Structure 1
Amino acid sequence: MTNAPLFLIGLGAGLASALLYASAASGSPLAVFLFYVAPLPILLAGLGWRHHAGLIGAAVAAIALFLGVGASAGAFHAVGVGLPAWWLAYLSLLARPGADGAATEWYPIGRLVLWCAVIGGALVALSIPLVASSLEEYRAALRTLFEELFRDRPGAPALPAPENREALINLLTAALPIMAAALWTVSSVFNLWLAGRITRASGRLVRPWPQISAMTYPRTADLAFLGASAASLLPGLVGLIAELFAATFLVAFAMLGLAVVHVTTRAMPTRGLILFGVYALLLIQPWVGVFLAVLGVAEQTIGVRKRFGPPPGSPPTATAPLP
């Protein structure tokens, strides 16, 4: 009976995640948003009631979709939603005793962000063989999809002119896999952060809330980013898969760049305005993330926060909400 609440939490989380995942079939913009928050119930179960509840939730969601929608839906949820969410929750609560009686060491936040990047690239890469066996076939399949989407239909909304439509289809065909990998990385980080905030507010988060702006990456992250960027120049599917990971690591380093902005502006009286401007630009013009990623790489190389941030231990002179 001691495991009954754990099972019930996992059961509820799994059914909620399955419902969110299945809602994408309606095709509405709201349904797309619900699809991307499908990992949230499993993360909540894993962070609040340990990873066993998250694993039960992942299994329940996969079984529910298998029985209610089909085998493919259950399998896709297990691989793309349930198991990644359980894994992130499991890593988040990993801890080890500090050396010589020091405080407990929890799994680093920076490594969790990198895991989100790896998962985002891997999920899109794993979907490629389901569509085609070569780059040409894959892009042809995407092109066919967009051509059907932009086909003139009676009573349909106005579409771009044929000459502009062709250029748009070419752009979407090339950019869709990269955008999908980057968006999945962002949504994974957001879901993990939101689940952490909710479980913390409920008093069930066992690890102390980390200082996100102080997160760091291991040196191997630089090499992985540079290696993926270089390999993206290769032809065929190998180059495309490398592009996916280059994009997701770009997102990860952009987040590190945001952490640098948070620290280096801490002593500025206009900090709130600067942060508002950076986030607004990032939402309106996502390509600004490239400059943030460069800042993140610079942090890894020369330690921007140590050089230009406030002195260690000094209180901030300007107030602004921490990330």
Structure 2
Amino acid sequence: MPAAYILVGIGAGAASALLYAAAASGSPLALTLLYVAPLPILLAAVGWRHSAGLIATAVGAGLLLLSVGPKTGLYFVIAVGLPSWWLGYLALLARPGVDGRQPEWYPIGRLTLWCAALGALLVAASIPLIATSLEDYRAALRTLFEKAFETPGSADGGAILPRGQDPKALIELMTALAPGMAASFWTLASIFNLWLAGRITRASGRLARPWPDIRAMEFPRAAALGLAVAVALSFLPNLAGLVAELFAGTFLVAFTLLGLCVVHVATLRTPMRVFILFGFYTLLVLQPWIAVLLSLLGLAEQFVGLRRRFGPPPGGPPTAAANLP
């Protein structure tokens, strides 16, 4: 193994461990650092092959084990290290092309689905650390939100809410939505970190695979079946239904992104494309329920192939050196 891989792995592991440890304060900024903690390991894995990412995982876990404790080191491996290494490994996975053609790289659609699956798995793995039943788990979340909404120093310990709103109703709503939202955030964070790692390594000339045309992302047919099974199993009682709900939510996020790909292709030949997309994304931020319509659009693309009706995008994706990992 080249010495550069080892040095990069050590540096990436130390940076990732520092970001992960900073999240222990619990502030909003610290939680943001937690979501970007996988980025250094992804940079090492994508830019210097997956062996550097594996070294970064081991170094980060070792530093946290020595400085904070064995549990923190173990949680780092499960939540940050191994998922980042695995995504970096898949991103550079390739097989020789047929009849001497260009290598076939691991599809970005499958990478997106892996991000969705990992987002659900990470939240599901945290459930036994909190409770062993659905009632106890929701009670723990409810207590957490009640403390978060308490006004420090107030006489009645009331919640910080606009006048006329029932704090109990809001706490119950957040208790029900929190697991799915956490899994969805992890999914989006994984996708963003993987994309950012690819962009940085491409700019530095270290990206081994050609840059993919994200608008042409496709999912295997089994993805829609997996979503349907997850939705059906979400009606199961107790924690089994909650875990299935996590997978249903993260796979809906993946299909929402596929729906966005359809929108990008559909507006390719529109003169006002930039303004249309800007308005669309602004509306998506202001009205998040539009994501449901986008996921339905993604499902329609899966079975009907809506993008084919708008013709292929002009030109091809930018290329980079394509060296087999």
Q: In the TM superposition, what is the alpha-carbon distance from 1:4 to its structure 2 partner?
A: 2.0
Q: Are 2:54 and 1:52 equivalent residues in the alignment?
A: no
- Are residues 206 and 145 of structure 1, via their aligned partners in 2, closer, same or farther at CA, if it must alter by over 3 Å? same
Q: Partner residue of 1:303? A: 305
Given that 2:268 and 2:313 are in contact with CA atoms closer than 8 Å, whether structure 1 keeps it comes out as no
Using the size of structure 1 for normalisation, the TM-score is 0.93
Amino acid at match of 1:78: V
2:31 and 2:286 map into 1 onto residues whose CA distance is 20
Q: In the TM superposition, what is the alpha-carbon distance from 1:314 to its structure 2 partner?
A: 4.7
Q: Partner residue of 1:227? A: 229
Deviations 1:137-180 (A, max 9, x none): 11011111112222232179971269611011101110110000
Q: Which 4+ runs in 1 deviate beyond 6 A?
A: 155-158
2:142 and 2:165 map into 1 onto residues whose CA distance is 15
Equivalent residue runs for 1:266-277 within 5 Å = 266-277=268-279
Q: Partner residue of 1:214? A: 216
User: Could you say what secondary structure the match of 1:189 adopts?
Assistant: helix
- Are residues 253 and 66 of structure 1, via their aligned partners in 2, closer, same or farther at CA, if it must alter by over 3 Å? same
1:11 and 1:237 map into 2 onto residues whose CA distance is 39
Amino acid at match of 2:202: R
2:94 and 2:111 map into 1 onto residues whose CA distance is 13
- Are residues 157 and 144 of structure 1, via their aligned partners in 2, closer, same or farther at CA, if it must alter by over 3 Å? closer
Deviations 1:39-63 (A, max 9, x none): 0000000011000000000111111
- Are residues 204 and 157 of structure 1, via their aligned partners in 2, closer, same or farther at CA, if it must alter by over 3 Å? farther
Q: Are 2:80 and 1:81 equivalent residues in the alignment?
A: yes
2:244 and 2:282 map into 1 onto residues whose CA distance is 29
User: Could you say what secondary structure the match of 1:268 adopts?
Assistant: coil
Deviations 1:258-294 (A, max 9, x none): 1111111101111111111222222233222111101
Using the size of structure 2 for normalisation, the TM-score is 0.92
User: Could you say what secondary structure the match of 1:145 adopts?
Assistant: helix
Identify the range of structure 1 (275-284 vs 243-252) with the bigger mean alpha-carbon deviation. 275-284
Amino acid at match of 2:239: L
Which segments of 5 or more consecutive residues in structure 1 lack a partner in the other structure? 317-323
Q: In the TM superposition, what is the alpha-carbon distance from 1:247 to its structure 2 partner?
A: 0.5
2:246 and 2:306 map into 1 onto residues whose CA distance is 27
Amino acid at match of 2:264: H
Given that 2:41 and 2:84 are in contact with CA atoms closer than 8 Å, whether structure 1 keeps it comes out as yes
Q: Partner residue of 1:16? A: 15
Q: Are 2:43 and 1:41 equivalent residues in the alignment?
A: no
What percent identity do the matched residue pairs reach? 61
Q: Partner residue of 1:105? A: 104
Q: Aligned match of 2:200 in 198, 201, 220?
A: 198
Q: Which has the higher contact order (CA 8 A, sep 6+)?
A: 2
Given that 2:20 and 2:33 are in contact with CA atoms closer than 8 Å, whether structure 1 keeps it comes out as yes
Which segments of 5 or more consecutive residues in structure 2 lack a partner in the other structure? 317-325
Q: Are 2:173 and 1:171 equivalent residues in the alignment?
A: yes
Q: Partner residue of 1:241? A: 243
Q: Partner residue of 1:94? A: 93
Amino acid at match of 2:160: L
RMSD: 1.7
Q: Partner residue of 2:312? A: 312
2:314 and 2:287 map into 1 onto residues whose CA distance is 34
Amino acid at match of 2:218: T
1:313 and 1:85 map into 2 onto residues whose CA distance is 31
**How many residues were matched structurally?**
313
2:179 and 2:171 map into 1 onto residues whose CA distance is 13
Amino acid at match of 1:222: A
- Are residues 5 and 166 of structure 1, via their aligned partners in 2, closer, same or farther at CA, if it must alter by over 3 Å? same
Q: Are 2:113 and 1:143 equivalent residues in the alignment?
A: no
Deviations 1:279-322 (A, max 9, x none): 22222332221111010000001000012x1x336569xxxxxx
Given that 2:159 and 2:167 are in contact with CA atoms closer than 8 Å, whether structure 1 keeps it comes out as no
2:70 and 2:315 map into 1 onto residues whose CA distance is 55
Q: Partner residue of 1:290? A: 292
Q: In the TM superposition, what is the alpha-carbon distance from 1:28 to its structure 2 partner?
A: 2.7
